[in-house]
Structure 1
Amino acid sequence: MELFLQLFVSGILLGGVYALAALGLNLIFGVAKVVNFAHGEFLMLGMYAGFWLMTLTGVNPYFGAPLIALVFFGLGMLFYLGIMRFTIYKPELTQVFATLGLSIALQNLALVLFSADYRTIQTMPDGYSSLGIGPLHVATDRVIAFGFAMVIFAGVILFLRRTYTGRAIEAISQDLMAARLMGIDSQKIFTITFGLGIAITGLAGGVLVPSFYAFPSIGSFFVLIAFVVVVLGGLGSVTGTIVGGLVLGVIESVFGYFSPDLKEATHFVLLILLLAIRPQGLLGVRGAEKETLK
């Protein structure tokens, strides 16, 4: 019984981390219907941002998270204004090639600037790297990352439901043409959404670097997980992202214990099954994945 409880708790903490890593991807898709294949590379850059912030200035990335988010908000706006603004109404393949090309460019840029070395940081003093809760033991960094995830999710939900900009984002995600007729500036909302989505992604990378190694191709690992979480929870659903992340975390924790070699294979198998059986996800709306901006 203790073993299954340990696996469940570990899976929940891991799932919160996965949900945080996937939120930016789902937020951008929900509004602009753009699948960002460079999502993993932005998260990778966030991990390097947390690493270098701690290494060069001694500032713990947990405390420097707002600064990382602010920088990546600007990067997200540049990403939209410099690239995606010209492809937003183009065929899907144009968007795929644009984001995939950016993904390759960012990965190789990181390789040139930071080399292929694996990097990580220790944020907790010796003796505080794990927490004991009765018979359970969990990594302190995972608990903190999970706390960040829950706070960010709560903040995003409140922002979307309680502010004018948030309601405008939801309006465009539901019906672009009707939102335009109501006087909403779609280009402004797209710019803000890309900024917010990339800011969350960069912040996620900053708080994940104590738990995962940062290296130029780490984004390829996280982008697959993000896609599985988004498809599992529901395309365009913020609440679904939380559910999808937690479910995937528990599944991976259990499979990883009984068969470590199949741990990553579960991502592919689960993604294929979801696309075949329930492409709208657990909390998604049927047909959301097929909506268009035209």
Structure 2
Amino acid sequence: MWETVAQAVINGLLIGGIYALVSIGVTLIFGVVKIVNFAQGEFVMIGMYITFFLANQFGIDPLLSLFVSMPVLFVIGVLIQHFLIRRVLGPNDMPQIFLTFALSLLLLNLSLMLFTANYRTVHTSYSDEAFHVAGLYIPVAKLIAFVVAMALSGVLWLFLHTTDLGKAMRAASQNRDVAMLMGINPNRVFCVALGIALALAGAAGSLLMPFYSAYPFVGQVFVLMAFVAVVLGTLGNVMGALIASLMMGIAESLGVQYVGADSGLIVVFAMLLLTLAFKPTGLGGGSAR
């Protein structure tokens, strides 16, 4: 009995690490720029396709492709913020919502046109490998993805709390006007925030490829879970999004194990509804918006 529960918890934690990268990107954009990025999942998909073509054309391992997908997505994020999002920032949220939603649809349909709806996979030497510890099965590819995801989350936390630019991002997220009076350039800070968020999405895409297929709609799965994690962990709270993502991964895995093969999302959304009913500001506290 305990082995079954432990196996479900391990599986949930491993996939929860990927959810964390996507949800941290969403909550970072909301916390700093104050917009909801509906296209975050499509950037995970772009990261997956970059990884696939690097592996297919040049034989580059998905872990090494992180050094390509993350910088490419960072630059894309900076350009999107500078040329698109910057022009719709203001007291009215609707133009921002329509912009990111339209960007999501554009990227989705472009990927369908360029790559078709076929599933693309990357098989590595460790894709089918696993550790067997005390009767538990730990897939190597998922374990590597989890470790790298947690390492990137830790690096982001250190960046936000120890560097001048990170502190400037936190200041801009708390009070944009006061931050400007202190000499902080909001557009520069927003560009970096969006670049980092999209780089995390690209990292998630690269880490997924050894055990997950790339296809145009793949981002929809992860952005949905990211939004749930962001709400559970409190909007704009990076650490809350991380913890909520891990909790969701465990809840989904336990739901699949004990409720049914297609019931993982039901358990996650039940957890969301209960949280909103009893603690509408989210598990991380703060004020509701």
Residue 102 of structure 1 corresponds to which residue in structure 2? 103
Note if contact 1:22-1:241 (Cα within 8 Å) is conserved in structure 2: yes
> Is 1:112–2:113 an aligned residue pair?
yes
Residue 167 of structure 2 corresponds to which residue in structure 1? 167
Deviation at 1:270, TM superposition (A): 3.3
Residue 286 of structure 1 corresponds to which residue in structure 2? 287
Note if contact 1:118-1:215 (Cα within 8 Å) is conserved in structure 2: yes
> How high is the sequence identity, in percent, across the aligned residues?
39
Note if contact 2:232-2:282 (Cα within 8 Å) is conserved in structure 1: yes
Residue 122 of structure 2 corresponds to which residue in structure 1? 121
> Is 1:20–2:21 an aligned residue pair?
yes
Give distance in 2, aligned partners of 1:42 and 1:125.
Answer: 25
Deviation at 1:271, TM superposition (A): 3.4
Residue 255 of structure 1 corresponds to which residue in structure 2? 255
Deviation at 1:221, TM superposition (A): 1.0
Any gaps of 5 or more consecutive residues in structure 1? none
Give distance in 1, aligned partners of 2:193 and 2:103.
Answer: 18
Give distance in 2, aligned partners of 1:72 and 1:14.
Answer: 22
Note if contact 2:17-2:149 (Cα within 8 Å) is conserved in structure 1: yes
> Is 1:192–2:195 an aligned residue pair?
no
Deviation at 1:125, TM superposition (A): 4.6
Deviation at 1:96, TM superposition (A): 0.9
The letter of the residue matching 2:66 is: A
Deviation at 1:241, TM superposition (A): 1.6
Give distance in 2, aligned partners of 1:48 and 1:273.
Answer: 36
Deviation at 1:51, TM superposition (A): 1.0
Give distance in 2, aligned partners of 1:63 and 1:238.
Answer: 26
Q: For residues 125 and 245 of structure 1, do their structure 2 counterparts lie closer, same or farther at Cα, with a shift above 3 Å needed?
A: closer
The residue correspondences of 1:1-294 to structure 2 (distance < 5 A) are 1-89=2-90, 91-125=92-126, 129-258=129-258, 259-287=260-288, 290=289
Range with bigger deviation, 232-241 or 135-144: 232-241
Q: TM-score when scaled to structure 1?
A: 0.93
Q: For residues 228 and 180 of structure 1, do their structure 2 counterparts lie closer, same or farther at Cα, with a shift above 3 Å needed?
A: same
Deviation at 1:172, TM superposition (A): 0.8
Deviation at 1:54, TM superposition (A): 0.8
Q: CA RMSD, aligned part only? A: 1.5
Q: For residues 186 and 82 of structure 1, do their structure 2 counterparts lie closer, same or farther at Cα, with a shift above 3 Å needed?
A: same
Give distance in 1, aligned partners of 2:117 and 2:195.
Answer: 28
Give distance in 2, aligned partners of 1:88 and 1:274.
Answer: 30
Note if contact 1:23-1:201 (Cα within 8 Å) is conserved in structure 2: no
Q: Secondary structure at the residue paired with 2:131?
A: strand
Give distance in 1, aligned partners of 2:256 and 2:233.
Answer: 21
The letter of the residue matching 1:41 is: E
Q: Secondary structure at the residue paired with 2:132?
A: strand
Deviation at 1:277, TM superposition (A): 3.5
Deviation at 1:276, TM superposition (A): 4.0
Q: For residues 158 and 96 of structure 1, do their structure 2 counterparts lie closer, same or farther at Cα, with a shift above 3 Å needed?
A: same
Q: Secondary structure at the residue paired with 1:137?
A: strand
Give distance in 1, aligned partners of 2:201 and 2:24.
Answer: 7
Give distance in 1, aligned partners of 2:72 and 2:207.
Answer: 15
Give distance in 1, aligned partners of 2:89 and 2:271.
Answer: 29
Give distance in 1, aligned partners of 2:273 and 2:283.
Answer: 15
Q: TM-score when scaled to structure 2?
A: 0.95
State the Cα deviation string for residues 37-69 of structure 1 (Å, max 9, x = none).
011111111111111111111011101202211
The letter of the residue matching 1:278 is: K
Note if contact 1:16-1:150 (Cα within 8 Å) is conserved in structure 2: yes
State the Cα deviation string for residues 191-233 of structure 1 (Å, max 9, x = none).
1111111111111111112222111011111111000111112
Note if contact 1:38-1:102 (Cα within 8 Å) is conserved in structure 2: yes
The letter of the residue matching 1:105 is: L
The letter of the residue matching 1:53 is: L
Note if contact 2:51-2:69 (Cα within 8 Å) is conserved in structure 1: yes
Give distance in 2, aligned partners of 1:157 and 1:234.
Answer: 17
Any gaps of 5 or more consecutive residues in structure 2? none
Q: Secondary structure at the residue paired with 2:262?
A: helix
Give distance in 2, aligned partners of 1:90 and 1:151.
Answer: 36
Deviation at 1:146, TM superposition (A): 0.3
